[in-house]
Structure 1
Amino acid sequence: MTQSTAPSPRTRIRRKPERARYDVEAINAIVDAAVICTVAFQIDGAVHAIPTIHWRDGEHLYIHGAKASRMLTALTEGEACLTIALADGLVVARSAMHHSMNYRSVVVYGRFELVTEPAEKERSLKALIDSLYPERWDTLRPINDKELNATGVLRIPLAEASAKARDFGVKDDDEDLDWPVWAGVIPLATTLGTPRREDDSVGRTVPATRFRPQSDSDRGAA
């Protein structure tokens, strides 16, 4: 369902508000497209911002780490701000001031909660693995109680979030349109490299991932 207003004053986008999206579909799409977020929080009055792997399951965003992590402890004791940014293209203009970037971003506010029930924690970790490598969890050596107990899983609701994006070409001044330099958009994308198998790997089949090789159309035309 499309939502046109910010869910809270601190999520309202003031700079370039025409690029704002507050609907669940737009926010979830960006959260799902990214694999790393940055979480900002305080410990003893000092501000920290740590990049970490994330995944979404339903209406929550999840992160994980060592159970004894100071970050995980701090996130359950106070408010946090989480950000995601994806760079989609370099916008190359005829003047320095009109160079820009196409991007998608999300900002989330709230408080993380600890996932404590063992079956729910295991289900959440399965969602992480399968979000990167579809259906891989069931092929792996089962997680044991020691590993599960040593891992902390936190989740934050996506109820207080906003998205912002730019997805268009160059906006040069009319008087600059005849300036004799190239103008346009150079696409940016995450692509798969060549897999490197461990020498002692018994398995020979490279697992499928959520990513795909970059095609010629993705690279754009000169």
Structure 2
Amino acid sequence: MIRVLLVDDHAMLRAGFRTILDTQPDIEVIAEAATGAEGVELAVRLQPDVITMDVQMPDMDGIEATRRIVAEPAVAAPIAIVTTFDRDDYLFQALEAGASGFLLKNAGPEELISAVRALASGEGILAPEVTRRVLARFTASAAPVADSVGSAPGKAAGRAPAAGGVLIEPLTEREQDVLTLMADARSNAEIASALFIGEATVKTHVSRILQKLGARDRVQAVVFAHRHGLS
């Protein structure tokens, strides 16, 4: 059962999210918070599996609440920012604060359900409307370091700073292939099909990639890939 905490100052919207999610046999909304501060308190106390977070709220906004929750060692729940505002400042502040996903409130019920399941399984999610902007931003500012992340022909592989500033091991050629497809917003099943390997093997590669990059989830790994010109 995926235990979800809803954080939003609009009671009607929380009720709608609860109705959508509680219809699923594998998802349970365990609590609701109307402010960012309340969301932080409930996240620490209840230890949910997934958190959905609004941005504009009284007392404490969702970006700051996300930052504080991510900083709590006892809380491991991934956070999806769910907002009405399709704004780049919210998007990039959310990712920098540690959010694992970004959805717009005009998303359909199936998108919300899929997002919760993806986050619970360790995947990051981005609304289709904003994915291109994320890629464009980090591609434009990329400083290519491909040779230091994986072996190029005739060159020795070195090390590169990871998402958290930690030194990483070189990625294998197959891991680079998987990371490139991750950066193209492919699911594990789609990656498996493209590379003619099993989905379980893809999950192993993804896990190793996250470990080597020092990334918490797929979103961080994709940001790293585009920042360093790996895709």
Q: Shorter-chain TM-score: which interval? A: under 0.3
Q: Which has the larger radius of gyration?
A: 1
Higher strand share goes to which structure? Answer: 1
Q: Is the helix fraction higher in 1 or 2?
A: 2
TM-score between the two structures when normalised by the length of structure 1:
0.22
Q: How high is the TM-score relative to the length of structure 2?
A: 0.21
